[in-house]
Amino acid sequence: MGELAFDRRGSGEPLVLLHGLGSRRGAFDPVIGLVAQERELVAVDLPGFGESPPDDAGTALRVSDFADRIERFFAEQGLDRPHLAGNSLGGGIGLELGRRGALRSLTAISPVGFWGRPGQAWCRGALRAGYKAGENRPESIPPKLDLALLRLGTAVYSFGRPFKAPAEAVIATREAGISAPGFLDACTYALDYSFGGDARRLRELPVTVAWGRRDVLLTYWTQSREARRRLPWARHISLPGCGHVPFHDDPDLLARVLIEGSS
């Protein structure tokens, strides 16, 4: 089993950060400096993403498998029931860890698992289309045109304001997806996840669910409403002007959400 890549920074109670499918721990960079003043941050690359190797058993991991690996990571790093914040796939992993009693608090940002079949199919199709577009990008395309097409295309699934997001962040988002050996298998297996079942352990936790109002990948108007229905005791927050991966859209707001959610 390969070791997971991670960064550890700051002081205070530990807060583990988990990114989404096709992303990497660097997605949290815009808020790290703000939150590290009050929390010890542990930003992790999930198996098969970023700088973490795929799991020894392969990359066909379901949400429960990712949760198993993160629980082992907690033990390896001496993290006893840390706070956790997860985006998208990371939010689904957080829900399962919370269900197991492995967390002190959970902040789930546009988490997977609150969709119906159409929403699930839309997400899987959009991610696979973006992956293929990145793989098949002509090498001769001028950089400015490449960036403009990227902002018009796949970047809208991550950023609420794709034309205001830094160019390096937009490009890094594409590269993180197409270079991840775990991407396609996670699209198949991890996106089968649907939140349900026994949630008694979650009721014992402080749970925050935050959703970007411009999220078009896990659509705000349908899936955040379903999350409110299934988790009525949780604290639900709408993030104006924010997309699916909202940290570049409004770093100050997201930093507050992370700090308050782990208080």
Residue 57 lies in a domain: yes
H or E stretch at 105 = strand 105-109
C-alpha dihedral, 57 to 61 to 65 to 69, nearest 10°? 60
Residue type, 236: H
Half-sphere exposure of 156 (CA within 13 A, CB side): 8
- pLDDT of the residue at 231: 95
- pLDDT of the residue at 199: 83
Residue 1 lies in a domain: no
* Residue-range definition of the domain harbouring residue 40: 6-118+184-261
Q: Is the pTM of this model over 0.85?
A: yes
Residue 172 lies in a domain: no
Residue 226 lies in a domain: yes
**Is residue 42 a contact partner of residue 260, using CB atoms and an 8 Å limit?**
no
Residue 123 lies in a domain: no
Residue 107 lies in a domain: yes
- pLDDT of the residue at 60: 65
Q: pLDDT tens string for the chain (263 positions)?
A: 579 999 999 999 999 999 999 999 999 999 999 999 999 999 999 999 999 998 876 556 899 999 999 999 999 999 999 999 999 999 999 999 999 999 999 999 999 999 999 999 999 999 999 888 888 888 888 888 988 888 888 889 999 999 888 999 999 988 888 889 999 999 999 999 999 888 888 999 999 999 999 999 999 999 999 999 999 999 999 999 999 999 999 999 999 999 999 99
- pLDDT of the residue at 58: 56
Q: Looking at the 3D structure of the chain, how many domains does it have?
A: 1
Residue 163 lies in a domain: no
**Is residue 86 a contact partner of residue 111, using CB atoms and an 8 Å limit?**
yes
Residue 34 lies in a domain: yes
- Note every long-range contact of 148-157, with CB atoms under 8 Å and residues 24 or more positions apart, other chains counting: 150/174, 154/129, 154/130, 156/216, 156/243, 157/126, 157/127, 157/130, 157/216, 157/217, 157/243, 157/244
**CATH code where residue 114 lies:** 3.40.50.1820
Give the span between the Cα atoms of 262 and 257, in whole angstroms: 9
